[in-house]
Structure 1
Amino acid sequence: MNQLSAGIKGALRISQTFRILAQTGFDWMMGDRPPTPTLLRQTFERLGTTYIKLGQFIASSPSVFPDEYVEEFQLCLDKTTPVPFHIMKRVLEKEFGKSLKTVFAEIDPVPLASASIAQVYAAKLVTGEDVVVKVQKPGVENILLTDLNFLFVSAKVLEFFVPNLSMASLSDIVDEIQKGMLAECDFYKEAANIDDFHKFLEETGNTQATAPKVFKQASTMRVLTMERFYGVPFTDLDSVRHITSNPEALLITAMNTWFSSLLFCESFHADVHAGNLLVLKDGRIGFIDFGIVGRVKSSTWESVSKFIWAIGQEDYDEMAVAMLGIGMTDEEVDVEKLAKDIEKLYSSMDRVMPDLDLNAGDMASISEHEVNKVMMDLVGIGKRHGIHFPREFALLLKQLLYFDRYVRLLAMDANIYMDERLNFTPDMDWKRIH
């Protein structure tokens, strides 16, 4: 019966997909003809969950897709109209197999956030703890499977009829996207990422950073209940200064924690924008949202460590050499010319800093678009020199650029990378990785 129901829903979803594509085609014939990347993004947003996630994959994959598509899909926002609470309440009760009153003393029906896959609510457990509850929207997994199987078959057909496309491995890309998206639907995996981070903090004796506690008695594959953190965004300097007089020390704590996690964790937090780094009331750094993590092959860790160190030292020659070790190339690369191109780009990074009066307590925000643009430019330089990077490198690079922005905001007059409090060094034992 469940298989029949899933089959019917799948058929309806495919019908809906064709209807939206037909409408897009009709609009185009009637003269609504934006540039192709814009047209594709707008269509993806109308198609919903799967395609929004696919758009975000394109946006974070400058090593795979053309620059104009990567740039356009930066605008693909993962924010949706909230599903009414009475529907999400049924999801919760079905997952728990009992009344919500036996789990939560109270739960706010207005979500704190609504994305394509899940909504987040503030609540209080019957045991008294303040929590946030991440609830997967109903039917999301079935939609993902239907859409991605449709895309996989379509990619195979295209590769058969257009042999040149097989060089781009479209079906392999869809297969990778499918694995990533389905992993996002398994909140047990996100809970495991958080547990791994807690274990890392404990093993390294790090008491200055933390992550939310997961309440497993109130969590399932589709519901994740976590400790609610009370704090301020990492770059809200005015608020941070009410907690500490030394924002620079907080920056060093955050950097030490994240860099060390590269060495000691199974995966690294791959979304360290300011909203996911909180300064808690007790002065600790709170890392939140472990839904997106990255993993880098052990064979490239040595080059990755050299690349990170070279960024801090602004050693462009070393950055060029490290890029060769991280990426793949079938041709000889002029390292000196590559280094000069990197230096030219890095010099331009100063011009993308927001014009803020930090002493006046402005909200010092790091523009997602600006970071993505620099990331795309750097990967693009590699492409022009014949270097092709694994997608995980783009994820890693984006986090490094975030931290570089934070250094320029929170420690403008100090060379943080030479500070003896910063534990990261190029001779760390990267062979310890896995």
Structure 2
Amino acid sequence: MVLNAFGSPHDLKRLAEISATLIRYGFGDLVQRFGLENAASKAGRILRGKEAPDTAHLSPAERLRCVLEEMGPTFVKLGQILSTRIDMLPPDYIAELETLHDKVATLPYEALVAEVEADLGYRLTEVFAEIDKTPLAAGSIAQVHRARLLSGEAVVLKIRRPGVRRVIEADLRLLMHIAHFVAAEFEDAHRFRPEEIITEFAKSIRTELDLANECHNAERIANNFRDVPHIRVPRVYWDWTNEAMNVQEFVSGIAGSDLTAARAAGLDLRLIAARGAEAVLTMMLEDRFFHADPHPGNVFYLPDEQLVFIDFGMVGHLSRRRRDELVDLLSGVVQRDPEAVTEILLKWANASLTENQQLEERIEGFIERVHGVPLKSLNLSALALDLVGIMREHDLALPPDLTLLIKAFTSLEGMGRQLDPDFDMASAAEPFLHRLILQRFSPKELVRLTGKGLADGVDLMAHLPKDLKTLIHSVQQGKIKLGIEVQQMDNFLTRLDRSITRITIGIVIAALTMGSSIVMTVSGIELPVAVSVFAMMGFFGAVVGGVWLMYSIWRSGKG
């Protein structure tokens, strides 16, 4: 495979820089393996005059961390994501990647704002009364400065580094080529879905590049907590916010990492830990839209144990289906149901039960080990990592959309234990799980699921003639080859007829149930006796039809 087939000179230059960095840290074999020979020849010129780092005392995991840091923002962010993938990497690599941080020098204010002012069409000094040219913080994507509006309000300006988008886009193209190469050349790599990982990662980092999108995320989470007085999110000033710069309220509080100052201010750290856990669990499990990096650097403490969350560049979204699967998995652990837990893990990994018959035995041992242990003694993050470790032993991988959730959950428990050594994540999560389980079986949810099933059934029946016609047409054109023995045809048609009959009866049962329910739940109206009798007959017919349908399915399965 040749990765050097990049069109733009900038891409070729970036390839040479990356190749040079890999060679300096002893990864020259990867340069050759990935087909970067042409870039490596150009890298020789870059390497001249550069002092080679002393890597003799570094472990392979430390060398990987160092090379990712030096290769820049894209690879730092990728390493941070990979630090959550215990299903992919050994523990020593995970521990090392968790220490990854951006090593970037601050830019002079004048160099930083030139690109932004060109986009805006005016100078920032025209809309801000003052701007502190000394940065508050500097990251690989943006730099933060204090400022004051003409109206006197204190704000912070988060300004994107010039040229960073071009560098990241070149890196993403390279990473996708590598993902294609790994998927094609290494058979075992398919279970990790490398192309999906890079696709998800590219989507995440491109979103993070849009600084206006961070403000949309902030406002969405602020709206979810509008009735919670002890949770705050800085206000956004949209008049001066765009893709390359956002303007948010400046909040003067105690940094989440400064526990000494928090104690000196008389804050109750146990209460802060409880409130922080409740807020993040609410985002994850109820709102299903969460801050994906809730570490102490992204939190401030205010008087009366208020918490201010900042930096919503990295957020996660959990689908309703995935959230329900997580609840089912935890319920399976609590109820000692290894079969249910195994089924969910195999579903996540797109694997079949027959290929992993020993997995259920390992899950059963895991459940027995944690069952009966007091909640306070459980470390949920460690348990989650143990469970993923079991998946790794059986060549199973997590779906990419769960990586941010694991990262956020681990960060949350770590922050909670810093604030309160006795912090109990299991007890904090327990009421959320109880509520979600009850919601799954509430009348409202059952009506929603019934309606969805009815709609799906009607849709299936409506499209069935057209789908059959398309299928027959494809067979006639020779696009589909069917081999059916003549003596089996009667049996095949009989089974098809039974299947269609069952689908029809299922739709009728759903319609009777919903119709009768609507009639019987009408309030404020005295219904005629005939209508009530009709509704009861509908319920009776649905029950009879359901019993017949279940018996028919059981009998055919037995046969």
Normalising by the smaller structure, the TM-score range is 0.7 to 0.9
SS at match of 1:17: helix
In 1, Cα distance between the equivalents of 2:426 and 2:384? 20
In 2, Cα distance between the equivalents of 1:425 and 1:162? 40
2:500 corresponds to which residue?
none
Counterpart contact for 1:121–1:133, Cα < 8 Å: yes
Q: Output the aligned Cα RMSD.
A: 4.0
1:284 aligns to 2:312 (yes or no): no
Q: Which letter maps to 2:13?
A: L
Counterpart contact for 1:320–1:342, Cα < 8 Å: no
1:198 corresponds to which residue?
222
* Alpha-carbon spacing, 1:306–1:210, altered in 2? closer, same or farther (3 Å): farther
2:240 corresponds to which residue?
218
Cα deviations across residues 324-363 of structure 1 (Å, max 9, x unaligned)? 636445324123302245579999989x9xxxxxxxxxxx
Deviation at 1:238, TM superposition (A): 4.6
1:424 corresponds to which residue?
432
1:134 corresponds to which residue?
158
Deviation at 1:282, TM superposition (A): 5.4
In 2, Cα distance between the equivalents of 1:135 and 1:342? 48
In 2, Cα distance between the equivalents of 1:372 and 1:418? 13
Gaps of 5+ in 1: 1-5, 353-370
* Alpha-carbon spacing, 1:322–1:261, altered in 2? closer, same or farther (3 Å): farther
- After TM superposition, the structure 1 stretch with the greater mean CA deviation from structure 2, 110-119 or 374-383, is 374-383
2:18 corresponds to which residue?
17
* Alpha-carbon spacing, 1:146–1:127, altered in 2? closer, same or farther (3 Å): same
Residue number among 348, 351, 364 corresponding to 1:336 in the alignment? 364
SS at match of 1:230: coil
1:88 aligns to 2:112 (yes or no): yes
Deviation at 1:8, TM superposition (A): 3.5
Deviation at 1:211, TM superposition (A): 0.6
Counterpart contact for 2:376–2:427, Cα < 8 Å: no
Counterpart contact for 1:338–1:385, Cα < 8 Å: no
* Alpha-carbon spacing, 1:25–1:297, altered in 2? closer, same or farther (3 Å): same
* Alpha-carbon spacing, 1:235–1:54, altered in 2? closer, same or farther (3 Å): closer
In 1, Cα distance between the equivalents of 2:418 and 2:206? 37
Residue number among 331, 344, 367 corresponding to 1:325 in the alignment? 344
Deviation at 1:65, TM superposition (A): 3.5
Residue number among 120, 132, 148 corresponding to 1:124 in the alignment? 148
1:249 corresponds to which residue?
271
Deviation at 1:390, TM superposition (A): 2.6
SS at match of 1:71: helix
In 2, Cα distance between the equivalents of 1:12 and 1:345? 57
SS at match of 2:217: helix
Residue number among 269, 294, 304 corresponding to 1:272 in the alignment? 294
In 1, Cα distance between the equivalents of 2:269 and 2:102? 31
* Alpha-carbon spacing, 1:235–1:343, altered in 2? closer, same or farther (3 Å): farther
* Alpha-carbon spacing, 1:277–1:20, altered in 2? closer, same or farther (3 Å): closer
Cα deviations across residues 35-56 of structure 1 (Å, max 9, x unaligned)? 4333333222222122222221
Deviation at 1:249, TM superposition (A): 3.4
* Alpha-carbon spacing, 1:415–1:143, altered in 2? closer, same or farther (3 Å): closer
What is the correspondence of 1:225-264 to structure 2 with a 5 Å cutoff?
A: 225-234=247-256, 236-241=258-263, 246-264=268-286
In 2, Cα distance between the equivalents of 1:27 and 1:320? 46
SS at match of 1:426: helix
Counterpart contact for 2:112–2:161, Cα < 8 Å: yes
Counterpart contact for 1:196–1:265, Cα < 8 Å: no
SS at match of 2:13: helix
Cα deviations across residues 111-131 of structure 1 (Å, max 9, x unaligned)? 121111111112212221111
2:388 corresponds to which residue?
379
* Alpha-carbon spacing, 1:251–1:423, altered in 2? closer, same or farther (3 Å): farther
Whose radius of gyration is greater, 1 or 2?
Answer: 2
Deviation at 1:221, TM superposition (A): 0.6
In 2, Cα distance between the equivalents of 1:187 and 1:118? 9
- After TM superposition, the structure 1 stretch with the greater mean CA deviation from structure 2, 41-50 or 319-328, is 319-328
TM-score, length-scaled by structure 2: 0.62
TM-score, length-scaled by structure 1: 0.77
In 2, Cα distance between the equivalents of 1:93 and 1:402? 37
Counterpart contact for 1:200–1:264, Cα < 8 Å: no
In 1, Cα distance between the equivalents of 2:176 and 2:305? 48
Higher percent of residues as helix: 2
Gaps of 5+ in 2: 1-6, 30-51, 449-559
1:108 corresponds to which residue?
132
In 2, Cα distance between the equivalents of 1:266 and 1:44? 31
1:3 corresponds to which residue?
none
Deviation at 1:193, TM superposition (A): 0.8
What is the correspondence of 1:371-410 to structure 2 with a 5 Å cutoff?
A: 376-384=385-393, 388-405=397-414, 408=417, 410=419
Q: Which letter maps to 1:143?
A: V
Aligned residues: 402
- After TM superposition, the structure 1 stretch with the greater mean CA deviation from structure 2, 184-193 or 279-288, is 279-288
Counterpart contact for 1:95–1:223, Cα < 8 Å: no
Q: Percent identity?
A: 24
Q: Which letter maps to 1:276?
A: N
In 1, Cα distance between the equivalents of 2:255 and 2:276? 13
Q: Which letter maps to 1:221?
A: E
Counterpart contact for 2:191–2:396, Cα < 8 Å: no
Counterpart contact for 1:82–1:119, Cα < 8 Å: yes
Q: Which letter maps to 1:396?
A: L
* Alpha-carbon spacing, 1:89–1:283, altered in 2? closer, same or farther (3 Å): same
* Alpha-carbon spacing, 1:342–1:47, altered in 2? closer, same or farther (3 Å): farther
* Alpha-carbon spacing, 1:224–1:308, altered in 2? closer, same or farther (3 Å): farther
Cα deviations across residues 88-114 of structure 1 (Å, max 9, x unaligned)? 021331232211112221122121211
2:540 corresponds to which residue?
none
Counterpart contact for 2:376–2:426, Cα < 8 Å: no
Counterpart contact for 1:243–1:282, Cα < 8 Å: no
Deviation at 1:304, TM superposition (A): 2.6
In 2, Cα distance between the equivalents of 1:342 and 1:385? 20
SS at match of 2:93: helix
Deviation at 1:386, TM superposition (A): 6.2
Counterpart contact for 2:74–2:171, Cα < 8 Å: yes
Cα deviations across residues 118-149 of structure 1 (Å, max 9, x unaligned)? 11112212221111211111111111111111
Deviation at 1:310, TM superposition (A): 9.6
Deviation at 1:387, TM superposition (A): 5.4
Cα deviations across residues 193-247 of structure 1 (Å, max 9, x unaligned)? 1111122123xx2222111111111211111211111112346555335555644
SS at match of 2:203: helix
